[in-house]
Amino acid sequence: MKEIKTPWGLLSPEVELFPIYYLIFIYGFVYILPFGEYFVGSTWFNLLKKEDGPLEWLQFFQYLTSAFIGFFIFTKNKKKNSINSFIWLLLSTLFLFIAAEEISWGERITGFTFNALTNLSIQGETNLHNLPFFHNYLLDPLLQIICIFMGWIGWRKWPHLNSLPSKKYSLFFLFVALFFAYYDISWASTIEHIRNDQEIFEFLLSSGIFLHFWDNFKKYRVT
């Protein structure tokens, strides 16, 4: 980890600070950028987080790349029957599925739709995560549990498993868990609802996953 120069001396953080810089940049700069509506018909902030926008496509490529990296690591792992190898295989399969879900299984690219799903989907899309029961009751709690596990419990309880993200990337996951917890509380209560900035934070999640996989790819590539 790089040392940070401050007026009080050098700081050596144990975690990646990109999530903090990213959120400061998004909310302290992009959010107030003028003239977005003049150029693109939307604010620059809304352009980033809209459906099929830049952040959603970046998430797709990050999940897809992570999945292929994970399969590569699994094939390189000499102990195929170990729990570590199983987790690599499980996560790679999961992220390949999530990548496909991010772009609704290519629906808007190919024009192919699966009507049985689109008729049930709350957004009229060919995917599973927007089915009413899953989206309304399971998606956010499941996401929060996964983020807390990957951002805190995993590296504390099983530091020997390199398939789980290390402490280094904990902020990528914990900020996401915090946002979704606060988001759900605000919408379930009578207080003012916070803005739906899910894509902003979901990009942090996919970035943390990608960086974790990429770090391990570099290690396995030279073995």
Tell me: the pLDDT tens digits for 109-161?
A: 777 777 777 877 887 887 888 888 787 778 889 999 999 999 999 999 999 99
Q: What is the pLDDT confidence band of residue 2, given thresholds at 50, 70 and 90?
A: low
CA–CA separation, 72 and 69 (whole Å): 5
Phi, psi values for residue 91, rounded to 5°: -65, -40
Q: Render pLDDT for 142-156 as a digit per residue (tens, 0 to 9).
A: 999 999 999 999 999
Q: What is the mean pLDDT of the chain?
A: 87
Q: Helix, strand or coil for residue 103? A: coil
Q: What is the pTM of this model?
A: 0.89
Residue 198's Cβ-side half-sphere holds a number of Cα atoms within 13 Å equal to: 13
Residue-range domain boundaries for the chain: 51-221
Residue 17's alpha-carbon distances to 22, 87, 167, in angstroms, are 9, 26, 12
Q: What is the mean pLDDT of residues 15-28?
A: 94
In this structure, what DSSP letter does residue 165 have?
A: P
Average pLDDT over residues 87-93: 97
* Pair of tokens at residue 101: 């879900």
